[in-house]
Structure 1
Amino acid sequence: MDGVELEILWSNLIGVVTERAKALQRIAFSPIVREAGDLACALFDQRGRMVAQANTGTPGHINSLAFAGAHLVREFAGRCEPGDVLITNDPWLSAGHFFDITTLTPIFNGDRLIAYIGSTIHHTDIGGYGIGAGARDVHEEGLWIPPLKLYERGTPNPVLHAMIRRNVRTPDAVFGDLAAQVSSGQAAAEHLIALCERHGLTEIEALSDEIISRSEEATRAAIRKLKPGTYHGESSFDVPGGEVITLKTAVTVDAESGGILVDFTGSSMQTTTGINVVLNYTHAYATFAIRSCLNPDLPNNTGSLAPITLQAPEGSIINCRYPAPVNARHVVGMYVPMPILKALYQVLPERVLAEGSGAVWTIQIGGRKADGQNFTSSMFNYSGGMGARATKPGPSATCYPTGVAAVPVEILEAAMPIVFDRKELRRGSGGAGRTPGGDGQIIAFHMNTQDPWMLNAVPSRLNMGPEGLGGGEPGQPGRFLVNGASVSQARKLNMEPGDRVVLETPGGGGFGPAA
């Protein structure tokens, strides 16, 4: 395909998915989507290959969506009609926990199926236990939606809609977000059809072949420039309850094929709390870590992901078996890049960063307002410091690898009876080094309610600060305080009016010896 023509078509495809992702973000009900950008949007070809992703979204959602979309295409092959919308939140088929719901819209040009548009977003509520890690198995964690049709030929599936509505605490918010996903998919379909008509295309398969093959070859070319061999990395961190998790990686660079194998053998086994990770989510953050070190300007699609393969023992904490609880899977999943970066430090020392705070600290609260109405917050995230880079300090209050933002305090205070007493950088919490780690932050709040309320919190690194790299100093561990007392539990906390909560997130590790 002519290079100029390909560039025009490619930029148009990116425009279609990016515009729809931003529209989805604007019209979503959930603050975690609207304000924090916890979403993904991607275009798939007839064979279920991810062709293009939006320029916004989180790696855990984007690369998991590649697997979820491919599975839905296979599941409903030959059974899709105009007006259908497919749906699932199966943790092992999509993004790793029930809160992340994936929808996929088949795109028809007349009666011909030409592509699919998919999105994954974090929903406000899915029933069950909530966002915390205290459930004993996956069935306690919420409503499981197997691959089904949310809409059939443009008509809502009444049984599925009734099941969802009756099993969640905030049905209006959940269906508002589902409507945002469905409407953004319909608009994307119209834009793709218009693009095909402008350029005289009856389908996008030839374009998809060109994009995916070029992306794969460019990624393999970047890998061939690396020194071949096997490089090892290891990262340990503590999680709610004080348990220490260890992730080990052996990263093998095959210069001949232009492939990379990441082997997690030796990592901790799955646990009884809801911090277990499915392989899709592990793959999402592993590939993100490697690709951001290779050439971050390459397109992210099925082609560029193909040269990177994973091995993880079944039953390990990053490849858990059913029915392991998984609702707080980000607590471990967001640490997946850390041992990989330590391994790549031996090959690309100038492109990696020191350990950061890891997972965002997720907080969910619920209770009753003064007027008697129940409320359940959307999850709000707080980041620690990012690890230092070879030539630049680590950004403060910035979470690598997710990139998700915190919901502004003004939005939260307007939505529920919460009062923030303090929110500032935790000065000096980043590790010293030739380049220092980023600082964490301090957040203090209480609830303005007359009734008891519930707190779900999943902080990590309360005992073990992020390690420095190349002689850099570690960052400070975090602190989670309730009424001045340290707390580290993997279960819901029953709170009283007037109770005060303080979060002090960890600082990032330093890079290189301090002067």
Structure 2
Amino acid sequence: MDGVELQILWSNVIGIVSEQARALQRIAFSPIVREAGDLANGLFDKRARMVAQAVTGTPGHINSLAAAARNLLDEVDENDIAPGDVLITNDPWMSAGHFFDITVLSPIFRNGAIIGYAGSTIHHSDIGGYGIGSGARDIHEEGLWIPVMKLYERGKPNRTLFDIIKRNVRTPDALMGDLGAQVSSGMIASERLNALCDRYGLDDIEELSDEIINRSETATRDAIRKLAPGTYHGSSRFDVPGGDVIELKTAVTIDAQQGEITIDFEGSSGPSGMGINVVPAYTHAYATFAVRSTLNPDLPNNAGSLAPIKLRLPDESIVNAKYPSPVNARHVVGMYVPFPILKALAHVVPERVLAEGSGAVWTVQVQGRDENGRPFTSSMFNYSGGMGARAEKPGISAVCYPTGVSAVPVEVLEASYPIAFTCKELERGTGGAGKYPGGDGQRIGYRMRTTRPWLLNTIPSRLSTAPEGLMGGCDGAHGVFRINGEDVVDTRKREMAPDDEVFMITPGGGGYGAPVAGE
């Protein structure tokens, strides 16, 4: 395909997925989607290969969605898919790793034949069960499990499935509204892709998808071939709710001849009894993100650029969850996956990696009844710490790295739920010193505006183990979690009194390079 023609068509494809994501955010009910952008949108060809992703979204969702389309279609008879059908699942092993993330896949038809699929995954406010915390003992305590089904069939809603979902969640209006936003975004993608085909006289997008995916894979393999071959090791240690310390170990093997990278997690911590276990798709999502960000970040993220990155996961490992392991708080471990990989790659491309940061976002969910007796369940809202310093720049303060979600503004939260914040500001000096210092964490305090007891689900990490500096940089500060002024380590769901106050300081990022004397 001519390079100019390809660039024109590629710009159109990116426009489609970007409009798909914007529509989803604008229509969504929940602040976690509307404000934070905790979502993913992708466009797939008829072989279920991800051709393009929207620029809005998180690596955990986007790269999991890349595999989810094929997983869903393997469960149905593709000859039984008709115009107006919409597939749905929240199976953790098929999609993004826990029940809260629901994936919706809409076929795109042209002249009576499927030419592609529009997919989306978003974090929903509630899915019943335990909630977002890590306290469930097996996956069946964690919420409603939706197998691969048709949410819509020939344009008509599956009333039985709708009724089951609404009866099993605490906030059905929010969940159904967000599902509607996902379906609507798929309809927009379908309209825009057909318009592209009309504009350029295409019957389908197979030649275009082949060109995009093959070029992306070739460019990724060429970037890997420029690296020094060999096996390089990295490890990362961090504490999780309850005080247990988890260690992730990686052996990163660069095969310059084949242009492939293999990441082996042998030696990592074993499965946990808490809901922090990570399914392979989510581990793969953050592992590929770490590698892709150090190679050529300007390359499109699609089936081609992800193909040369392979994983080996031990059977008994926290990053290879097996049924019926609890997984609802899988991000607590999953968001640390990039750090041991980046440490291994620091032996090869030290100028492209960064020091350890705060890692997993600190998630909060509150439930109860307001002063008028009306029930409320918040969507998950996140608090970030400091990002690790880079080879030539300081770390960014209070940023959600590696997940990339935005913070929901305090004003939005206070307008949406009966919550009152007592403080929210940067905690200066928590970033590690270095030639380039790590980013600072932040302090947050809040209480609920209610006269009744309420429930708190919070998942902090790094309350005792600090983010490590790199190349002689100093460690960042570990985090602090207090209730009414007392340090708390066990943060599983607990009942709170009306006047209780929660106070948090998120960790700072590690520094990069030895501190310069006198500075």
Asked if 1:83 corresponds to 2:84, the answer is yes
Name the residue aligned to 2:36. 36
Within 5 Å, which residues of 2 pair with 1:67-466? 67-76=67-76, 77-466=78-467
Within 5 Å, which residues of 2 pair with 1:5-20? 5-20=5-20
Task: Using the TM superposition, give the Cα deviation of residue 140 of structure 1 relative to its aligned residue in structure 2, in angstroms.
Answer: 0.3
Letter in 1 for 2:124: H
Name the residue aligned to 1:66. 66
What per-residue deviation string (whole Å, max 9, x for no partner) do you get for residues 378-405 of structure 1? 1110000000001100000012110111
Q: Hey, what's the Cα distance between the residues in 1 that align with 2:220 and 2:395?
A: 27
Percent identity among equivalent residues? 70
Give the secondary structure class of the aligned counterpart of 2:174. helix
What per-residue deviation string (whole Å, max 9, x for no partner) do you get for residues 465-514 of structure 1? 10000111000000000000111115201100110100100000000100
Q: Hey, what's the Cα distance between the residues in 2 that align with 1:56 and 1:412?
A: 21
Q: Hey, what's the Cα distance between the residues in 2 that align with 1:217 and 1:78?
A: 33
Q: Hey, what's the Cα distance between the residues in 2 that align with 1:355 and 1:187?
A: 40
Give the secondary structure class of the aligned counterpart of 2:432. coil
What per-residue deviation string (whole Å, max 9, x for no partner) do you get for residues 403-446 of structure 1? 11111110110111110010000100000001000000000001
Q: Hey, what's the Cα distance between the residues in 2 that align with 1:457 and 1:314?
A: 29
Task: Using the TM superposition, give the Cα deviation of residue 112 of structure 1 relative to its aligned residue in structure 2, in angstroms.
Answer: 1.1
Q: Hey, what's the Cα distance between the residues in 2 that align with 1:325 and 1:17?
A: 33
What per-residue deviation string (whole Å, max 9, x for no partner) do you get for residues 216-242 of structure 1? 000000000000000000000000000
Q: Hey, what's the Cα distance between the residues in 1 that align with 2:148 and 2:85?
A: 13
Asked if 1:51 corresponds to 2:29, the answer is no
Q: Identify if the C-alpha distance between structure 1 residues 490 and 500 changes in structure 2 by more than 3 Å, giving closer, same or farther.
A: closer
Aligned-residue CA RMSD (Å): 0.6
Q: Hey, what's the Cα distance between the residues in 2 that align with 1:408 and 1:25?
A: 15
Moved more, 355-364 or 490-499: 490-499
Indicate conservation of the 8 Å contact 1:273/1:490, yes or no: no
Name the residue aligned to 1:498. 499
Name the residue aligned to 1:2. 2
Q: Hey, what's the Cα distance between the residues in 1 that align with 2:175 and 2:41?
A: 18
Indicate conservation of the 8 Å contact 1:47/1:73, yes or no: no
Task: Using the TM superposition, give the Cα deviation of residue 255 of structure 1 relative to its aligned residue in structure 2, in angstroms.
Answer: 0.3
Q: Hey, what's the Cα distance between the residues in 2 that align with 1:79 and 1:58?
A: 32
Task: Using the TM superposition, give the Cα deviation of residue 72 of structure 1 relative to its aligned residue in structure 2, in angstroms.
Answer: 1.5
Give the secondary structure class of the aligned counterpart of 1:251. strand
What per-residue deviation string (whole Å, max 9, x for no partner) do you get for residues 136-188 of structure 1? 00000000001100000000001111110100000000000000000110111
Q: Hey, what's the Cα distance between the residues in 2 that align with 1:171 and 1:283?
A: 32
What per-residue deviation string (whole Å, max 9, x for no partner) do you get for residues 272-321 of structure 1? 00010000000000000000000000000000000000001123100011
Letter in 2 for 1:248: K
Q: Hey, what's the Cα distance between the residues in 2 that align with 1:157 and 1:208?
A: 32
Indicate conservation of the 8 Å contact 1:451/1:497, yes or no: yes
Name the residue aligned to 2:484. 483
Q: Hey, what's the Cα distance between the residues in 1 that align with 2:55 and 2:167?
A: 35
5+ residue gaps, structure 1? none
Indicate conservation of the 8 Å contact 1:48/1:74, yes or no: no
Letter in 2 for 1:393: P
Q: Hey, what's the Cα distance between the residues in 2 that align with 1:108 and 1:75?
A: 20
Give the secondary structure class of the aligned counterpart of 1:25. helix
Q: Hey, what's the Cα distance between the residues in 1 that align with 2:491 and 2:44?
A: 38
Letter in 2 for 1:345: A
Give the secondary structure class of the aligned counterpart of 1:320. coil
TM-score, length-normalised on structure 1? 0.99
Letter in 1 for 2:364: I
Q: Hey, what's the Cα distance between the residues in 1 that align with 2:29 and 2:204?
A: 34
Q: Hey, what's the Cα distance between the residues in 2 that align with 1:405 and 1:56?
A: 10
Letter in 1 for 2:235: E
Letter in 2 for 1:429: T
Letter in 1 for 2:191: E
What per-residue deviation string (whole Å, max 9, x for no partner) do you get for residues 64-107 of structure 1? 00111111123232221000000000001100000000000000
Letter in 2 for 1:3: G
Letter in 2 for 1:402: T
Q: Hey, what's the Cα distance between the residues in 2 that align with 1:10 and 1:176?
A: 31
Task: Using the TM superposition, give the Cα deviation of residue 370 of structure 1 relative to its aligned residue in structure 2, in angstroms.
Answer: 1.4
Give the secondary structure class of the aligned counterpart of 2:351. coil
Q: Hey, what's the Cα distance between the residues in 2 that align with 1:340 and 1:456?
A: 30
Give the secondary structure class of the aligned counterpart of 2:217. helix
Give the secondary structure class of the aligned counterpart of 2:74. helix
Q: Hey, what's the Cα distance between the residues in 1 that align with 2:208 and 2:491?
A: 48
Letter in 1 for 2:28: A
Letter in 2 for 1:192: L
Indicate conservation of the 8 Å contact 1:254/1:260, yes or no: yes
Q: Hey, what's the Cα distance between the residues in 2 that align with 1:399 and 1:38?
A: 11
Task: Using the TM superposition, give the Cα deviation of residue 55 of structure 1 relative to its aligned residue in structure 2, in angstroms.
Answer: 1.2
Q: Hey, what's the Cα distance between the residues in 1 that align with 2:154 and 2:380?
A: 34
